[in-house]
Amino acid sequence: MEALLCKRLGDPASSAPEGKNPESSPIVVSRNHPIPELDSPTAVRVKVKATSLNYANYLQVLGKYQEKPPLPFIPGSDYAGTVDAVGPAVTKFKVGDRVCSLASLGSYATFIVQDQSLLFGVPKGCDLVAAAALPVAFGTSHVALVHRANLTSSQVLLVLGAAGGVGVAAVQIGKVCGAVVIAVARGPGKVQFLKSLGVDHVVDLSNQNVTASVKEFLKSRNLKGVDVLYDPVGGKLTKETMKLLNWGAQILVIGFASGEIPVIPANITLVKNWTVHGLYWGSYRIHRPAVLEDSIRELLSWVEKGLITIHISHIYSLSEANLAFSAIKDRKAIGKVMIAFDDPGSARSKL
């Protein structure tokens, strides 16, 4: 089978895995990698149709993620495809069923094996490429906003990095919850896209001051401030937007795409009665698997009902993985970046 191998740590966007000098890239496409065998009676082998690129996947190849697997490894987390083989004790799925899931590693390959308990059936109306984009980005935002923050229709939600994978998910989930949603992004294309999602107010960082813009909007709506801050960015933007938070506000720490870990002053947190939630979504598989499973099932039902839409920015082939990682690194994407199998080799935008 085909698989993308990380043989050493480094920038996967730096050069093509099948270029003239493949040794210069930390990733390489293996054309004859062994197909994984069923490793338990309840194991299921899935033929992968598409797999998602998340910022965490990029950091893992760089060696900067909190989980550091031994080399070499096959990166990848969320994916979708069809059941190829099942163990003798499998009761939930049969060969040919459409499924999606997430793995700690291994989805950047033609086949992957997981236990049946970790798989979810994909609704008939949902495209497999879209289903592959759902678990991590939408799962992170759903657990953060619905399970941790208990977002309600009476609240104001401020989403940083709103045009990225988790950001697009967060603004849509915010609207499903009935909240007033304010989105922060950079560039007119991203602003227009976010407006098309029904966001109540969008701040364009390329030509607007976030504090002034949000305050003006809040005043126009007779609102006091922000109740929930969704922050996958960190850095100076976190410090700036904390000025907008209400007494009793909640801060959701999702990640640090800016490369800078912010300082949230404990004294101000105390005086203003803020709640700071650290959200490492992947650890829910170990500590609260039922929460994660219920979250993904609800999201799949929302897709089926048309309450949320999974926006695919770019699709690449496995041999173009460096371009896919580059789209993440350079913030070119609006929505999700995907790797698809059995598709034409050229990269294309879906927006």
Which tokens hold the place of 28? 């390489």
- Block residue for tokens 């922060």: 184
Mean pLDDT of 21-31: 83
Q: Taking 90 as the threshold, does the pLDDT of residue 310 lie above it?
A: yes
Q: Name the packing angle between helices 135-142 and 289-305 (round to 10°).
A: 110
Point out the least confidently predicted range of 4-18, 248-262, 273-287, 299-313. Answer: 4-18
CA distance 56 to 136: 10
CATH placement of domain 3-122+311-340: 3.90.180.10
Strand, coil or helix: 212: helix
Confidence at residue 343, expressed as pLDDT on a 0 to 100 scale: 55
CA distance 135 to 218: 33
With a pLDDT cut of 90, the percent of the chain lying above it is 83
Confidence at residue 351, expressed as pLDDT on a 0 to 100 scale: 38
Within 10 Å of residue 317's Cβ, how many Cβ atoms? 19
- Give 45-69 pLDDT, tens digit per residue: 999 999 999 988 999 999 988 889 9
Confidence at residue 332, expressed as pLDDT on a 0 to 100 scale: 82
CA distance 293 to 145: 16
Confidence at residue 79, expressed as pLDDT on a 0 to 100 scale: 97
Dihedrals phi, psi of 106, to nearest 5 degrees = 100, 0
Average pLDDT score over the chain: 92
Mean pLDDT of 188-199: 95
- Give 322-336 pLDDT, tens digit per residue: 999 999 898 888 889
Q: Name the packing angle between helices 55-62 and 321-329 (round to 10°).
A: 110
User: How is the chain split into domains, by residue range?
Assistant: 3-122+311-340, 136-281
- Give 93-132 pLDDT, tens digit per residue: 999 999 999 999 999 999 999 999 999 999 888 899 999 9
Confidence at residue 17, expressed as pLDDT on a 0 to 100 scale: 75
CA distance 202 to 210: 9
Residue 18: pLDDT band (50, 70, 90) is: low
Confidence at residue 24, expressed as pLDDT on a 0 to 100 scale: 77
Mean pLDDT of 255-276: 94
Burial category of 287 from C-beta neighbours within 10 Å (exposed 0-12, middle 13-18, buried 19 and up):
exposed
Tell me which architecture the domain covering 136-281 has in CATH: 3-Layer(aba) Sandwich (3.40)
Confidence at residue 344, expressed as pLDDT on a 0 to 100 scale: 43
H or E element that contains 120: strand 120-121
Which region, left, alpha or beta, applies to residue 342 given φ > 0 means left and ψ of -120 to 50 means alpha?
A: left
